[in-house]
Each structure stands twice: as C-alpha cells, then as structure tokens.
Structure 1
Amino acid sequence: MARYDAARAEASQGVAGGEARLRLAEAELRGLIASQLRPTWDALWHGVDLLRALPEGARVADRWKRDRWSYTGHRDRVRAGEPPQPKLDDAVTAAQKLAARETAQAQLDAHEALDDPLVMAGRRLAGEAFAGEVIDVEMAWSDAKVPRPRPLVTIRTEDRPHLAERVKLHRVTEDGRAQSGEFAGFADMDGADGSDGSDETDETDETDETDGADVAQGPGDAGGPGRALVVRLTGGMGRGKQPEPGTVPEKGDRVCWTLFEHAPRGGPELPDPESTPWTHGGPPDAAAPAQGAQPDPMTEEDYL
C-alpha cells in the first residue's frame, strides 16, 4: 500500500516513470486483494451451485404461487388508489392481520419440516414428531351408530414425543394425502411384534390400560414399555365402511407422525368493525363517555 501511495504521488507530480510505477503498484495491490477475497467468493458460488442442485421441496411451488397472488392483490389495491398500509389499524383489522401472519408462519414451519428431513429431525428432537416402524396393525371400529374404521397401529420408535392421551397426530400418506390419528397409549413391544413376551405388567404400575395399551398419564413421557406407541387412525381412509387400499400402514412400513397440523387454520371468525364496541374502534353509543379532542385530519404522512 505504501508503494502504491508513493507511486500515485509521483504520478500526480509528473515525475518521470511515475505512471508506469503506478500501474505496477495498482496491479500488485489488486492481486493482493483478490488473493484474500477470491477464496470466499468462489466458496460462496460453490455453495449456491450445491443449493441449486438440491431437489425443490414438494410444497415450494404452491407457496410461491400464493405469494405471487398476494402481491398481485397488493398491486391492484395500490393501482386503485387505496393506501398501501394505514398508520393505525382498527382492532378487528389488526387482529385479522395478526391471525393471517401467524397462520402463514405455522404453515411455513410445517411445510419446511415435511419437505426437509433435517428440519423434521429437529422437530423430532423437540418432541413435536416421531418416526418409526409399524410392528402391528389391529382393525377396530368406532362405537357410533354407523361404525367407522379406527385401526390401531403400533409403531416402534426411538423418539420421545410429548404425548398425552388422545393427543391429535398427523401424517402424510404415500400418495400425498393428509391423515389424522390420535395417541392411544403405549404397548409392550415384545407382545406387539409377535414374540411371547415373558415380562408381566406389575400391579403397581402407575399407568392405566386401555385396549391392551398403557396410556400415558402426562405429556412428555414417551418411555413406555419397549417404547412402542399405539396410534388410532381417525381420518384419511375414505368414507366407506372399510379403509381404502393404501390408507392403513402395513407391518414393516416406515411412518412419521407429527403433533403439529400440516395445514393450520386461522382462529375464530371476528366481528365486523361496525359491530365492535367503541372501545375497540366501533361506532360510539349513548353509554360511551364524552369524547376528547378529535384527532388531526389524515394526511399523506399518515400512510407508509
């Protein structure tokens, strides 16, 4: 750098040979900078190439389509003369926006876990999902007037999900359809996989037995006997009296169940702004206290 500064000073003063020395010093300086930055630059684009080589997530295209439609709606509103964003929303509009953003975030988190095994591994470590091998399937039906199939699927797993009795479970079948279930309890893995199972259940066991499965007394305990979990299928099997082919896992299948919904929905329906009390932005009524000073008139600065 000192040689470059000296050569630049000589060139500015018109010293003979100063321009040539400046070009040499500049070339040397560029080479030094490139030697420090080039490895990082090359590594960056190598990482980009690796990412581009990965297969696209199954749900990425649908999210991209929804994002485009959302922006198109925003563009149309702006073109129609509507303000892009008010400075202060009323209570109902603010609640609607918050619910929409929370739902979108929950959907993104669920889709990333379903598309990326590494993300799903993190959810499994957090106790929000579990994967394992089906070791037994027992057909059962509901007690309703029109019995519906409710198969009991026993799964051997090394995961420790946060389960409680009848907690809702969700999975995606091989054909991409959603299937629901509920936790029915723990089972003895020795008895479930067809062996004689020499261990007897101790009379002082603190768990209750329901249909041959030990039901967890509280959330977070997945360390039942043999760590075999029993899942009762409650949906995704068609509308007939018998489950449609391929909708019930078979013995030896590898399945993954989650405790989070794959397509979470928003909260309860909110009232219209006109139906809310004056304390939440609705019209004032006779019971409302006297209003204070009126706010300043709206200007262009009130819109972002």
Structure 2
Amino acid sequence: MSTLTALARAQAFTSGRAEPVATVRHLHLHEHPFVLVPLAMAGEANAPLAAMAGTAQSSPTLLVVPQPRNRDQRFAFAASLAELLLPYVDSFTGVAEPIAVDRGRDVRYRLVDAPQVWVPNTGGVDFLKLFGRSTRFRQVDGDYPVPPGVPLLGRWLTFFAQSAEVPGASLLLNSVQALGLHWATGQSSAEDAQLAALLAWITPPAGMSGRDAALEAEGQAAGPATDPEFDNKVLAPLMAADDVDGLTEALREVLQPTWDQMWHTLALLRALPPGARVASRWDADRDVFSAFVANLAEGGPPQPRRDGAVAAAARLHRLENAAARYAVQRAFDDPLVMAEHRLAGTAFAGTVTLADPDRIDDTGKRPVLRPRIMVATTEPVRVDPGATLTSPARPGQKAKVISVTATPTGSDVLLELSGGMGRKMVAEPGSVPAVGEQLLLTTLSEAFRPGAAFPDASETPWTHGGPGGDPPAVVE
C-alpha cells in the first residue's frame, strides 16, 4: 500500500466515506458491456450453480443448474451461456478499419470495436478461467458429446481470463478491482473484496456512514461461491425435493442484488472522465481481440493447457512490460497518482527560471540542437546528474540532468533537452519550456520497451521441453 493510499484510508475511516484516489478513470468503459454474475456450488470444484447475465440492467437472464453434480446439466448450462455470450462477441467481428504501419508503407486491419465483460470480483475471473479450461477441449461428437457452442465458449472464456492478467487491459474487468483503483475505503483490503460493502463506503445511504452501511451489507453474497449456511438451509432442501421453481427463485434473490450493484458500479465509473491514455490501451485491446478472431477464423487450435517454457517466459516478459507501461501511463494521466512519485522524490514540479532554446552543442562530430533550461523547485529532488527525466506535457522529449544546486527554498535543476523539437537546428515554437512555465518532471518514461529475444523451443534443454524431453503429463 502506498503512503497516499494509506492516508486516504485513514481519512475515509475518519469521515465515514470512501476517499477518491484518482481524478480520472483509468480503464475503458464500454457503452454496451456484457455483465455476468456467476455462482458456483460451495465445496464443488468448478460446478456452476447459476448465473445472471445480459447487456441491460432491466432484463437479465437467469441460468440455473438444478443439480450441479450432473454432468449433462453442467454442459447444458454452458450451452445456454454460450447462446448469450457468443452472439454478443460476434456482434463486434463484422467491421474492421485500416491501420497504417511501417511508416505508411503497409496497412493492417483492426476491428473497430471489441467486447467487454464484467464480473463482480477476482473470484469471478477465476471461475471463468476454470470453466473455460473445462469446456474448451470438449468434443461435439464421439463419446460424451457436448452442444456445439460449448467448446467455442470455453475458448472465449479462456481468452477473456488471460486478457484480465494484462495490467491496463479492459476486455474482462471486475467491479471490486475497478472501484478499488479509484476509491479508498476505511476498511481492510480483505473487506473491500466484498462488492456490497465496498459500494456502501463509496455511496452510503442518506444518514448513514460508510462503516455502518458496510456492516449492513456484509451478508450479501457476490459469488462465485455460495455461503455454506445458504447451502444447508436453502439449497439442500430444494435440491432434495427437485423443486426447480423454488430453486430458481431462491437463486434469483441471491443474484439480483449483485446484478444491481454491478450496474451501480458502471454508473459510478462512467461519471469519471477517462484518462488521456485509456483510448490507446483500448486500441491495444482491439488488436488482441482482432488477432484472436482471426485465429478462430483460420481454424487455430484451442489454447494449450499450459505454456511451454519459452512461451511462459515470453508471456511473463510481456506482462512485466505491460505493468511498467501501465504504471507510467496512470501517473502521467492522473495528478493524484503522480503525487506518490513526487512524494518519493522521483518526480518534482517547478518553475522554469532560465531558458536557452537556441543552444547548439558542437562538441561531437556534428552540431546538434541541445537547449538548456533551469527549473526551480521547492520539492525534494532525488535524482543525480546524468539522470534522464521526462515531462507528461512533452513525453517525447528527454531532459538530462546537468546539475542540482541547493537553494534556500529548495533546488535549482539544470537540464539539457533533446528530442521532440523538430528536425531543424531551430526548435519548433512551444517545444522548449519558456521562462515562467510550470513544469513537472519525472524519472518515469513512456519510451518503447523492446521485447526480449527468446530461443526457439527446439533450442531449449530437454528439461524445458527441448529435444529428447517429453512434456509432463497433465491430469485434468
């Protein structure tokens, strides 16, 4: 937990209401999302009991599995879920747009929009991951066939679950994590995992504090597992009596509050303006979605049960790069997020007191434009000469620290600029900060991070799947 988040939690505890920890929305919010509230039977591995799903709050579809231990009923549930989700996904696969690549010398195509699925919490993400794994390898003929839509549903659930692992991606989102990214409550992180309690802190009823509202909301289940007491007192008798209608109504009463809370979550997030870099991350999501649609159209195989050594290493590298890039983008988009870096001394704000926009450095083989500016700041500066800084206002420009001089009120930082000023020996207007300009500088950078070079699987040792080694057996 960061220092400012801890402070926000303390303030929320004192005020009785959640405190904002973001000034903008750091995720893409679809105009037409697919909301899914899954419910599994407690004590049964990946045994779906019910789900409430749809794209409109006023008309949810309730799917129920009367006997979760019955294989045929489980796959009938999967088929019914496929009938809801697959048409929604397919509705985004019809129209593509040309995207210039290789500096305009070539063109690729990307779908103009992508689907977005919402679940209540991280447990819902895990449910989709496990349910996708249990369905994507099933056969529609031969022994133990399943309905035709089930394997395809499994592949899409796996796709969404894998996308949720990528920091900043918005194809599969969960309400608890999304709210926690923007508000801090006065309760513990474990208590924040309960959606009703989290919302109670953010928007408590009139006349109540968030603490009291959260206490009242603690008994509301958000899944994906049922409460053992509910299982014993309600589910067991209804299942024993094979009372499908009674079971359906009981499950509707359990799921309806969470369904409404998820739409309340969307309304809260929609009230926040999107961050400047949210759109570019959604473009990346559309790229991933377009690639998977093309893979399906070309008859590609289902996702493997587990990655090989090289694939796993490459995936980990991509996730690490995405995490670093997302952290920088959030800070550049949001002053509250950047404040944490300013507190740590890796970012500081100041006023430009001197500027030499026409300075030429002729000490090398050829003269280059290297303006210098002086920034006076009252904030702590914990960077050494030679460090490279960037400004969110000019992310394509680098500022090399020449010197840091202590002053009675703070520090004077002398910087040498490069990049982002045009290709001539004279800086373009506005590209060099002028005297009097307020400037924010940080060690964070949006610079391109090249991918690592990984060997081909055939070039790895036999212990990692290379020649002479057999892959380990996987027990489903």
1:272 partnered with 2:452? no
Asked whether the equivalents of residues 133 and 157 of structure 1 are also in contact (C-alpha less than 8 Å), the reply is yes
Number of residue equivalences = 221
Inter-partner Cα distance in structure 1 for 2:288 and 2:296? 13
Partner in structure 2 of residue 243 of structure 1: 427
2:280 matched residue in structure 1: 62
* Residue number in structure 2 paired with 1:71: 289
Q: Are 2:379 and 1:159 aligned?
A: yes
Instruction: Work out which of the residue numbers 366, 379, 388 in structure 2 matches 1:168.
Output: 388
Q: Which amino acid aligns with 1:269?
A: A
1:271 Cα deviation from its structure 2 partner: 2.7
Deviation at 1:255, TM superposition (A): 1.0
Change (3 A) 1:147 1:188: farther
Q: How many Å separate the matches in 2 of 1:102 and 1:68?
A: 20
Partner of 1:16: none
Counterpart CA distance in 2 for 1:296 and 1:104 is 30
| TM-aligned CA deviation for residue 298 of structure 1 | 6.8
Cα 1:148–1:69 shift into 2, 3 Å: same
Q: Gaps spanning 5+ residues in structure 2: where?
A: 1-199, 206-212, 214-256
Pairwise CA distance, 1:136: 0.9
> CA offset at residue 179 of structure 1?
0.9
Quote how far apart the aligned CAs of 1:68 are. Answer: 2.6
Q: Does 1:91 align with 2:275?
A: no
Shift of 1:97: 0.6
Query: CA separation of 1:241/1:121 partners in 2, compared to 1, >3 Å: closer, same or farther?
Result: same
Q: Is the 8 A contact 2:390 2:443 kept in 1?
A: yes
Match of 2:413 in 1: 229
Q: Which amino acid aligns with 2:430?
A: G
Q: RMSD between aligned alpha carbons?
A: 3.4
* Equivalent residue, structure 1, for 2:325: 107
What secondary structure does 1:170 align onto? Answer: strand
SS at match of 1:163: coil
Q: Is the 8 A contact 2:325 2:446 kept in 1?
A: yes
1:277–1:137 Cα change, 3 Å: same
Moved more, 140-149 or 80-89: 80-89
**Which residue in 2 is equivalent to 1:146?**
366
Cα displacement (A) at 1:60: 1.0
Query: 2:421, 2:432 within 8 Å by CA — same for their partners in 1?
Result: yes
Give the Cα separation in 1 of the matches to 2:418 and 2:327: 24
What whole-Å deviation, never above 9, does each CA across 1:124-176 have from its counterpart, x for those lacking one? 11222111110111353332121112122111112224312211111244xx6
Query: How far off its partner does 1:297 sit?
Result: 6.4
**Separation in 2, partners of 1:75, 1:46:** 31
Residues 135 and 74 of structure 1, relative CA distance in 2, 3 Å threshold? same
Task: Give the secondary-structure state (helix, strand or coil) at the position aligned to 1:240.
Answer: coil
Check 1:75–1:255 CA distance in 2 against 1; reply closer, same or farther (3 A cut): same
- SS in structure 2 of the partner of residue 65 of structure 1: helix
Query: SS at the partner of 1:88?
Result: coil
Distance (Å, rounded) in 2 between the aligned partners of 1:161 and 1:84: 51
Q: Residue by residue, what CA displacement relative to the aligned partner does 1:61-116 show, whole Å, maximum 9, x if unpaired?
A: 11112113213323443555545432332222112111111111111111111111
Corresponding letter in the other structure for 2:322: A
Calculate percent identity across the aligned residue pairs.
Answer: 39
Contact 1:133 1:155 in 2 (8 A): yes
C-alpha displacement of 1:52: 3.0
- What's the secondary structure of 1:255's corresponding residue? strand
Contact 2:355 2:373 in 1 (8 A): yes
Could you tell me which residue of structure 1 aligns to residue 342 of structure 2? 124
Report the counterpart of residue 22 of structure 1 in structure 2.
none
* Equivalent position amino acid for 1:150 in 2: R
Cα deviations by residue, 1:195-245 (Å, 9 ceiling, x for unpaired)? xxxxxxxxxxxxxxxxxxxxxxxxxxxxxx841111111222222122222
Give the drift of 1:119: 0.7
Alignment check: 8 A CA contact 1:187 1:229 kept: yes
Q: For the residues of structure 2 that align with 1:74 and 1:46, how far apart are their CA atoms?
A: 31
TM-score by length of 1: 0.62
Change (3 A) 1:296 1:113: closer
Q: Secondary structure at the match of 2:403?
A: strand
For normalisation by structure 2, the TM-score amounts to 0.41
- C-alpha separation between the residues in 1 aligned to 2:383 and 2:261? 44
Matched position secondary structure for 1:108: helix
AA partner of residue 366 (structure 2)? V
Kindly indicate whether the alpha-carbon contact (under 8 Å) linking 1:137 and 1:154 is maintained by their aligned counterparts in 2. Answer: yes
Residues 131 and 255 in structure 1, CA contact (< 8 A), matched pair in contact too: yes
1:137 alignment counterpart: 355
Amino acid at match of 2:397: Q
Matches within 5 A, 1:19-58: 39=205, 51-58=269-276
Distance between the aligned counterparts of 2:440 and 2:204, measured in 1? 44
SS of the aligned residue for 1:227 comes to strand
SS at match of 2:354: strand
